[in-house]
A and B are shown apart, each in its own frame.
Chain A
Amino acid sequence: MKFTWFHLMPWPHMPDDFREKHRSVWVDLPNRMYQPELGHIAYHQYLDQLEYAETVGFDGIGVNEHHANAYGLMPSPNIMAATLTRRTSKAALVVLGNSIALYNPPLRVAEEMAMLDVLSGGRLIAGFPVGTSMDTNYAYGTIPALTREKYAEAHELIRKAWAADEPFAFNGRYTKLRYVNCWPKPLQQQMPVFIPGGGSVETYDFCIDNTYSYSYLSYSGYLRARLLMDGYWKRVAERKVDESPYRAGFAQVICVADSDEEAERLYGPHVNYFYNRCLHVYPGFADAPGYRTVKTIQTGALSQFTSAAARDYPSMSWKDLTENRYIVAGSPETVRQQLEELIKTLRVGNIFCLMHIGNMPDDKVRHSTKLFAEKVMPHLRNLWPEWQNHDDRFWCHPMHEPVPTRIAAE
């Protein structure tokens, strides 16, 4: 198993009456709410937490991209990952990822990711999300029905740019470049790629075709994720490729305390903040018409992503959230049992551990992280022995002897 400590970097200062005063945490929330001085503190605390996760033994540390929102404050994940290249040395840098349909030209992504890979000594795991409709369509103005075509073309350009040894011309519909010439080149010959998916069936085949790991990001927990992940594994079987569990990952909100009761006392308010404020998205921004393909709508797999599901959050108690496994929370033994069930039922080799939740203060984040690293993670390491608990195709390939970062000063 591979465990990545993943940060969303939410705005932790939304007021108690946030839901009443604002229709959405995304797209049209006035940025007068953002206070740069407090933002300075939050950014550094969040980056410290990612660095801390490496010291306690997480395999990877993760960042992502969102726009115009208080849910996640990383419009540029690459800037965050760049700071981490300097202060970490072992963990994979999981950039999950760059919304490649939004860059003009998308070659920028190839260049910046190559920079990150070289800087980190080959520790980059790249992610190419289509992006939420809030980000891609409403905040960045991409035409919904053309988003996927634009995405596919950007992907083709990035892959060719990384693979080429000399300049070439790229005549795309959305990007025309007479000279594509990616300096620097990435350090890794075969860049591992994770694709965040949210229920689009086209993404299954895209991952299988390219040997990318399918990463399902959901906040409704592993019981409800079964339908979608079963669909993915069914497709893997139909395509007659191997069934390595590292072909898939799942993001999970996790809270660890000394006991189940203690977990509720310590983390309850922050989980509540996350589900009621961070996920408070106006339904009109959730799914621009044309963003989903007709094929995906026809599968009916989207019912669990509809606003109906989101509307339930405000009424959910800690008991509802834990018993229905929206979150995995409790004593180390409780968390271990539930995660083992998650890993086996969804058949995933990657877990993206969401351990900073909502407005959780730093000491609690570290407490939960440390307990997980010491008392949970070691017992979950060996769940895929038939795969030697590792799949080279779906993880980074660091240089053997990274250059000490202080060398220039010496």
Chain B
Amino acid sequence: MKSKFLALEPLGARIEVVEAGKGRDLLFLHGAGGHMVDDPLLAALASKYRVVAPLLPGYGQSEGEDGLRDMLDVTLHALDVLEKLELEKPIVVGHSMGGMIAAEMAAIAHTEITDLCLIAPAGLWLDAHPVVDIFSKLPYELPGLLFHDAEAGGKLLTAGRGNMEDPEFLKQFLVMNARRMGMAGKLLFPIPDRGLAGRLHRITARTLIVWGEEDALIPPVYGEAFAKAISGSKLTQIAEAGHAVGQERPAAVLDAIGDFF
């Protein structure tokens, strides 16, 4: 996988875009955790599609997060990036926070986005099924929240990481975490609801919703809520998978997308 860079108007903010594979264009929007090292989902998608995965400002080498404060800012930013990428009828795929952004894009620019895949998207809130407060979680708690198989998931999360006992690495890690989760907080903190429920009815794209049956972060009941709100959408649940369903069951998610679109 290779990165290229875009300069976004009007300030020329640098946006990092990861690209891989050949085939139909597929725009991928990552979740609050960003891309994983050798991300298994991106790798699987790249076996069938030309994957184009921009990083949100605050993630990787993408800049300009100070100018993005709320949902509308981020949605318009993502639409600007999409326009700049000049993709041909892309499938727009988003995971978790990226799914929330993708759904907003499809609701606002519903004539432009025709094929949409939401993988365990954030953005709704059900009082009876509160979404876990990811911001107050400590690193060691994450594997159990994100994966059905916490042990294998923990290895994926820590792959390629430096030594947390090294003060210099720890400082870099804290800076990275503050940038990423600071940005994510503008959409997800303290409750990941920015009014999407009132806009989902505008989506006209053919929509596939994918959920891990064992999702402990955003429970699968949210999948049903999304499916109900987006007319004509299809919900596919994947067994033995948690919130990071794409990283835990990349082949199953690829098949679901391939079958639907």
A, B assembled together = yes
A167 in the interface (beta carbon within 8 A): no
Q: Which of A137, A283, A290, A298 contacts B190 (CB 8 A)?
A: A137
Given contacts A137-B189, A138-B190, A288-B189, contact A144 B182 (CB under 8 A): yes
A227 interface hit (Cβ, 8 Å) = no
A393 and B138 alpha carbons, distance in the complex (Å) = 43
* Interface residue count on the A side (C-beta < 8 Å): 24
Would you list which residues of chain A between 280 and 309 have a CB under 8 Å from chain B? Answer: 282-285, 288-290, 292-294, 297-298, 300, 302-303
**Whole-angstrom CA separation of A300 from B180 in the bound complex:** 19
Asked if B11 lies at the interface with its beta carbon under 8 angstroms from chain A, I say no
The interface of chain B, by Cβ under 8 A from chain A, is: 65, 69, 135-138, 167, 171, 174-175, 177-186, 189-191
Residues of A within 8 A of B182 (CB): 144-145, 289-290
7 contacts between A and B (CB under 8 A): A27-B136, A137-B189, A144-B181, A145-B65, A284-B136, A288-B135, A289-B184
Pairwise interchain contact A297-B190, C-beta atoms closer than 8 A: no
In the A-B complex, list the 9 residue pairs whose CB atoms are closest, starting with the nearest. Answer: A290-B182, A289-B181, A145-B182, A284-B136, A141-B190, A144-B185, A297-B174, A290-B185, A143-B189
In the bound assembly, the distance between CA atoms of A284 and B138 in angstroms comes to: 6
Q: Is the interface of A mostly helix, strand, loop or mixed?
A: helix
A261 CB, min distance to chain B CBs, angstroms: 40
Q: Are B185 and A297 in contact (CB under 8 A)?
A: no
Task: Tell me whether A297 and B171 are in contact in the complex, defined as CB-CB below 8 angstroms, given that A289-B177, A292-B178 are known contacts.
Answer: yes
Check if A145 sits within 8 Å of B171, measured CB to CB. Answer: no
Across chains A and B, the number of contacting residue pairs, with CB separation under 8 Å, is 66
Cα A145 to Cα B191 with chains together (Å): 15
Q: Assess whether A38 is interfacial by the CB under 8 Å rule.
A: no
Give residues in A with beta carbon < 8 Å to B.
Answer: 27, 137-138, 141, 143-146, 173, 282-285, 288-290, 292-294, 297-298, 300, 302-303
B20 CB, nearest partner CB in chain A, Å: 28
CB-based contact A300/B171 at 8 Å: yes
Query: Bound state CA distance, A303 and B189, in angstroms?
Result: 25
If A285-B136, A303-B167 touch, whether A145 touches B186 (CB-CB below 8 Å) is: yes
A134 closest partner in B (C-beta): B136
Q: Report the Cα distance A111→B95, complex, angstroms.
A: 46
| A298 touching B171 in the complex, CB below 8 Å, given contacts A284-B137, A290-B185 | yes
The minimal Cβ–Cβ distance linking B161 to chain A, given in whole angstroms, is: 17
Which residues in B have their C-beta under 8 angstroms from that of A292?
178
Interface of B is mostly: helix
Cβ of A303 to closest chain B Cβ, rounded Å: 7
**B171 nearest CB across to chain A (Å):** 6
Residues of the B chain whose Cβ atoms lie less than 8 Å from the Cβ of A137: 135, 189-190
Contacts of A283 in B (CB 8 A): 138
Complex interface: chain A residues within 8 A of B179 (CB): 294
> Contact partner of A289 among B69, B185, B190, CB < 8 A?
B185
CA distance A289 to B188 in the complex (A): 12
Task: Given contact pairs A137-B135, A141-B190, enumerate 6 new A-B contacts (beta carbons under 8 Å).
Answer: A138-B190, A143-B189, A284-B136, A289-B184, A292-B178, A300-B171
Question: Which residues on the B side are within 8 Å of A285 (C-beta)?
Answer: 136
Contacts of B190 in A (CB 8 A): 137-138, 141, 143
Q: Which residues from A are CB-within-8-Å of B189?
A: 137, 141, 143-144, 288, 290
Docked Cα-Cα span, A300 to B179, in Å, equals: 16
Most buried by A among B65, B138, B180, B185: B185
Residues of A within 8 A of B177 (CB): 289
Complex: A282 Cα to B177 Cα, angstroms: 18
How far, in whole Å, are A145 and B180 apart by their CA atoms in the complex?
10
In the bound complex, how far is the Cα of B65 from the Cα of A332, in angstroms?
54
Q: Is B136 a contact of A288 with CB atoms below 8 Å?
A: yes
Once bound together, how far apart are the Cα atoms of A298 and B175, in whole Å?
Answer: 7
Instruction: For A27, list chain B residues within 8 Å (CB).
Output: 136
Nearest-neighbour CB distance to chain A for B177, whole angstroms, equals: 5
Give Cα A143 to B183, complex, Å.
Answer: 10
- Closest chain B CB from A293 CB (angstroms): 8
Bound-state CA distance A138–B189 (Å) is 9
Cβ B136 vs Cβ A143 within 8 A: no
Closest A residue to B183 using CB positions:
A145
Distance in Å from the Cβ of A313 to the closest Cβ of chain B?
Answer: 18
Contacts A138-B136, A288-B136 given; indicate if A297 touches B175 (C-beta within 8 A): yes
Contacting residues, chain B, for A297 (C-beta < 8 A): 171, 174-175, 178
Known contacts A145-B182, A294-B175, A297-B178; A289 and B135 CB within 8 A of each other: yes
* Set of chain A residues within 8 Å of B186, measured between Cβ atoms: 143, 145-146
